[in-house]
Amino acid sequence: MADRFFRDAGLYAISTVFPAILGLALVSIFSHAFTAASYGEYSLAMVFVTIISTFSTGWLEQAILRYEPETDTDNLIENTVTVLVGEFVLVVGLGIIVYFIQGFLPTGYQKFYAPVICLALTLSAFRISQAVYQSKLQSASLTKLKLVRSVLQFVVIIGLAIYILDDITGWLWGTVLATGSVTMYMAFQMEGVRITYRPDTDLVRRMFVFGVPLIGWAMAHQLLNFSDRFILEILRGSTQVGIYSSNYTIASRSLGLVSGPFIMAVHPIVMNTWTGENHEELSEMVRTYTRYFLIVGVPAVVYLSVLSEPVAEFMLAESYANGYLVIPIVASGTFIWGLSNIGHKGLEAKERTFTMLAGATIAVVLNIVLNIPLIQRYGYLGAALATLLSFSFYPVFIYFVSRNGIRWQIPTYTVRNVLLGCIPIAIGYIALWFTTSYSILATLAIVPVTGLFYLVTVYSLGEASEEEIEMLRQISR
């Protein structure tokens, strides 16, 4: 399975890196084209997109990833489509009712209402389609489709937001059009995309029982990501939300280049390996993937930290770039959360989703409790610190609760090796800080050198086996 992981992770990395680059380019373009307050309003609108899509179809997405390997795919898809259509009708109906409630929509946010509903439904359908491709290990096809979507999305968003609408809502409408087009193509390529009037109630019930707690878990994750923005809006205003959100986006999307491919590759492999009895095999598999994530993720956090100021100055307008200290703090929290997403795969395999929900819920409560005093004292930096601290709670929780089942083993020797390997990176940038201009070009120029020192250090410490190196060589050919 290791060769499968490296191949799928490589493909998913391609489908993650390119869209992330285009996404960061959009952040840079819109930070210059629109005010910080406008970007703050857009960020809050995206919060509602995430909430609606997660509540409506998050459980279906997770259930597909869990049960596709052990059930008839056509039966799974047609039951999923039936439930999906029903939920879409419900969301649209509630949306129409809410729209006519006097005073429900805050002043200035009325223009976001229609694109938010449309985008939530479109993203839901796309994520369901993506889950089917992912669970069937069709990484090559999914990579191509995600690349097409990212290019189409970039072009349409620029055209709508800058040239046609001259409004930041064009970002939402452009995403609707691009994502909807790719989703329809994916639906045409899949068998079983139809409504059934005799749903498999046993299958739907099983999917529901497994997936509904993960709606809560996913919502908790989104609250960890976005609740600080609401509190920041109340206590400090839209401008600080815009500064915080833009720098947060740089950090989360940059680390997403590491965590995204890992999670997408790991999940279906683990679920296809689980037999219901092979606890030790799965525990060792999760330990191995944790080790890989540490080797790649720790230096990524270090690089993003030392590059945060020049990257923010290069990508963002001056009024946004002043918040560059948000980047290393949020990057650390995002890495820790990604690590825990690998660690809790044993709980998912054992269908202990209520345990996952409990841990995420405690993290959310901790996040809100920390946000209020920290934002009052430190503004958007306080929000970043609350994010880091609350994200750090969840992996600790997972580590202890996993002892009664498929245990999450953390390779401490790998932690030591990667930290030692990062010392040359830190020394290189400290030397650069004191000897020359700390510009974007200068900081990027020494990345290959410091990166080579890192690889040599971890290899000399015995971190990479000859079998793993040979496997990478074969895949890269």
Q: Does one domain contain both 406 and 417?
A: no
Question: Which pLDDT score, from 0 to 100, does residue 350 have?
Answer: 84
CB count, 10 Å around CB of 413? 11
Whether residues 116 and 128 share a domain: the answer is yes
- Residues above pLDDT 90, as percent of the chain: 10
Structure confidence at residue 416 (pLDDT): 92
In the prediction, which pLDDT does 100 show? 72
As given in the structure block, the two tokens for residue 337 are: 């959360």
Rounded CA-CA distance 264/51 in Å is 21
The reported pLDDT for the residue numbered 356 is 87
Q: What's the whole-number average pLDDT of the chain?
A: 81
Q: What b/e readout covers 78-97, taking b as 16+ CB neighbours within 10 angstroms?
A: bbbbbbbeebbeebeeebee
Provide the pLDDT for residue 430: 82
193, 267, 147, 469: CA torsion to nearest 10: -140
261 vs 383, residue with greater confidence: 383
**So what's the pLDDT on residue 254?**
82
Given 371, 391, 410, the domain boundary residue is 410
Q: Picking from 112-121, 280-289, 439-448, which range would have the lowest pLDDT averaged per residue?
A: 439-448
pLDDT attached to residue 104:
61
Which of 38-52, 318-332, 341-355, 413-427 is least confident?
38-52
Instruction: Say whether both 324 and 404 belong to one domain.
Output: yes
22 pLDDT higher than 80: yes
Chosen domain end from 410, 427, 458: 410
Shared domain check, 217 and 145 = yes
In Å, what is the CA distance from 455 to each residue of 135, 234, 418? Answer: 32, 46, 9
Q: What does the pLDDT read at residue 106?
A: 62
Asked whether residue 279 falls in the same domain as residue 230, the answer is yes
**What pLDDT sits at residue 468?**
67
Residues 335, 416 within the same domain:
no
- Its domain, for residue 459, covers 411-477
Q: What is the mean pLDDT of residues 312-338?
A: 85
* 39 & 179 share domain: yes
For 63-74, write each residue's pLDDT tens digit: 787 777 767 777
Are 36 and 96 in a shared domain?
yes
- pLDDT value at residue 1: 54
pLDDT at 102 over 60: no
In this structure, are 334 and 424 located in the same domain? no
Residues 187 and 310 in one domain: yes
- Report the alpha-carbon distance of residue 18 to residue 80 in Å, rounded: 30
Most confident of 116-120, 255-259, 263-267: 116-120
Q: Higher pLDDT residue, 239 or 448?
A: 448
Average pLDDT over residues 305-323: 81
Tokens of 173: 């409408």
Residues above pLDDT 70, as percent of the chain: 92
Which residues contact residue 297 at a Cβ distance below 8 angstroms, ignoring those fewer than 6 apart?
255, 258, 259, 335, 338, 339
Predicted pLDDT at 105: 60
Give the range with max mean pLDDT: 68-77, 168-177, 435-444: 168-177
- Check pLDDT > 70 for residue 476: no
Which of residues 395, 410, 425 is at a domain's end?
410
For 373-426, what is each residue's pLDDT tens digit?
A: 998 888 888 989 998 999 999 999 999 998 888 899 988 989 999 999 888 888
pLDDT of residue 475: 56
> Tens digits of per-residue pLDDT, 84-95?
778 778 877 887
* Whether 289 and 420 share a structural domain: no
Q: Summarize pLDDT for 356-385 with one digit per residue, the tens.
A: 889 989 999 999 999 889 988 888 889 899
- pLDDT exceeds 80 at position 75: no
Residues 24-62: tens digit of each pLDDT: 788 777 777 777 777 777 777 887 888 788 777 777 777
Q: pLDDT confidence of 316, banded at 50, 70, 90? A: confident
Question: Are residues 435 and 307 part of one domain?
Answer: no
Total domain count, the chain: 2
Name the pTM for this structure. Answer: 0.73
Question: pLDDT tens for residues 131-158?
Answer: 888 777 677 888 888 888 989 988 888 8
